[in-house]
Amino acid sequence: MPSNHRRKWFVPVVLVVATSSAGCRLVPRNGPAPEQVAEARRLSNLGLSASDAGDLLKAEGLLEQAVDHCPTDVDSRKHYAGVLWDRGEKMEAVHQIGKALSLSPGDIDLCLEGGAMYLQLGLLDDAERLANEAVATAPRSSEAWQLLGQVNLARGKPVDALANFQHSLAFHPDSREVLRKTAEVYRQLDRPKRALATLAILEETYGPNQVPSDVLALEGLAQESLGRREDAVESYRAAISKGDAPPETVDRLAALESEDRVATRR
């Protein structure tokens, strides 16, 4: 789920109108009156509070009103899009992100949020466009390179995805999500040693017995590819003991144990 960068405003109305970088951004001189801006701020804050409380229906209504009061407020549209997405109104959410981007072209947060939405919807051309825009705007952004890598992975381009993820890790070496995706790409490229080395770095970011089941399962697959059957069995068992291991992990463990039983009988 795309993350929402939420920010509440407690800025005097005079500053809101006079400063384009805070709050209601890019308001033209003939835009909303100060009282409209102030009301939009009030509604947006109430909407965010309702969202935080889990009342998404109320939050949607309040943020819709906020956008109506100040149509050029980029932040209100971004928060509105986030709530729409959480409510399952996916296409309207990306529509609102598009509106926000038209008001603030190249906004890195909007590119990342919109790109992640398009990616989840399978709209890869739009996701790639925003990912490239994010990289061009912020070439040192780990998140921008990660998004581009995810797009290339979805397009079936693991080599390009690996290069993107490596760029991402250069700026955020401890990113668990990127380390995991990098290990998965190495496995897809039949480079299990590199996959295991990457997983070892990933596992160091967790405390004792805190490594997630999917990471342990991926470790087992890499070990199995290297012919390390006993290590693979141990990793699969550890993953299953977590209670939420991927279904294929149970199948892989059963297959290895069955093979071991057959070998023992001979």
Instruction: Output the pLDDT for position 190.
Output: 96
Average pLDDT, the chain: 87
> 1-105 with 174-266: one CATH topology?
yes
pLDDT of residue 19 exceeding 70, the answer is no
Q: Which CATH class is domain 174-266?
A: mainly alpha
Instruction: Output the pLDDT for position 17.
Output: 33
Percent of the chain, pLDDT > 90?
A: 75
Residue range 10-27: mean pLDDT, rounded: 37
pLDDT of residue 9 exceeding 60, the answer is no
Q: Which has more confidence, 257 or 155?
A: 155
Most confident of 6-20, 29-43, 68-82, 224-238: 224-238
What is the C-alpha to C-alpha distance for residues 140 and 263, in angstroms, rounded to an integer? 53
Confidence class for position 27, pLDDT limits 50, 70, 90: very low
Superfamily (CATH H level) for 1-105: Tetratricopeptide repeat domain (1.25.40.10)
Residue range 145-174: mean pLDDT, rounded: 98
Residues 6+ apart with CB under 8 A from 53: none
Among the ranges given (2-16, 80-94, 145-159, 228-242), the one the predictor scored with the smallest mean pLDDT: 2-16
Residue range 250-254: mean pLDDT, rounded: 93
Confidence class for position 5, pLDDT limits 50, 70, 90: very low
What are the sequence ranges of the domains in the chain? 1-105, 174-266
Confidence class for position 177, pLDDT limits 50, 70, 90: very high
